[in-house]
Structure 1
């Protein structure tokens, strides 16, 4: 899980750099759409951006920013694949992951999606750009990142927390084995026997002491007065 969090953090850092260059990204799409004579339809998929870059991009700045967009999408797609191996999940996490995979599909139609508050990417576009051309493509990455954050938060709070509590509960509920009563009885018997032997030895020493003392002589009496 720590590896997943770190990977997403790096992707977020790359996206922040990309977001700061949103104007450059939009201009690159404008230039390549003009070269492709494709100014009517909106930019509606990742594969469309890829096609513009590969076949209609003749400016190094445009190529760099389009590559940056595609690279972040690829990184997010790889992270989704990694999440499937981190934890089997439940219906909630599986639904979140499936949402990300659908959004990141190369041919998925992005025209209807919009990133909302706190993201301001759509607000940086003109009304026509947001509604008819670029509103979906600039919303893709922030929506996916938010969904992956939700996946991580839910997994930490519910699934991993439940798993971590399992061994602790089992350990707490496991009764501590008590030594068999015979052990205690034998110990008490041994102590009692030892005490008895000590008492017997003490009595014997007392007996020897009393019988070995020199006998006192009877007081002298004059003869004939017994």
Structure 2
């Protein structure tokens, strides 16, 4: 058997222990895999981000819609009420800062459909038109009759014509009466809480004021509110 020379053994040992060279195709494959993983993670992030943005956008859209349609959100109340009547529409600016509690109650009643079909049950020329579900003058009777007798007293801007108000709270009454003045009323603040004013449709108010009434100031032909729409802009 032939002996292997020491130099040959040394060369074989170096060949076995030397580093293994990586195939270029393997490097390319690994790089491609890394790139695909990064792209997949980025696509997942973009998808999550877009879904979150869409949900936030829908939430804001629903919030804005609720405000525009008049749904009370606590601190946000509509600025205008559109009275659609048998004679035409009346636009009223709501005093939501000065009379927030009354406006809030009014808005909630509107949302419940309380005013749909409400009649103007008392119409007094050169004084007020009154809307409500009750056919009685109740506590407003004396005020209306006395008010007409004192119509020459000094007035202020708060007592002007075309103001929207309701009777001051009465623990025995669950009704919410509406009064639209058609002339300055000196003692207005004594009986009514003013929570708005007519800014468009004064002619409609005056047309309602001119309807024929009986001796109790009740219109001979029914005239009333079809519905009320709440808006943020007039």
**TM-score grouping bracket, smaller chain normalisation:** under 0.3
Structure of higher CA gyration radius: 1
TM-score, structure 1 as length reference:
0.25
* Greater per-residue helix proportion: 1
TM-score, structure 2 as length reference:
0.24
* Greater per-residue strand proportion: 2
Bigger relative CO (Cα 8 Å, ≥ 6 apart): 2
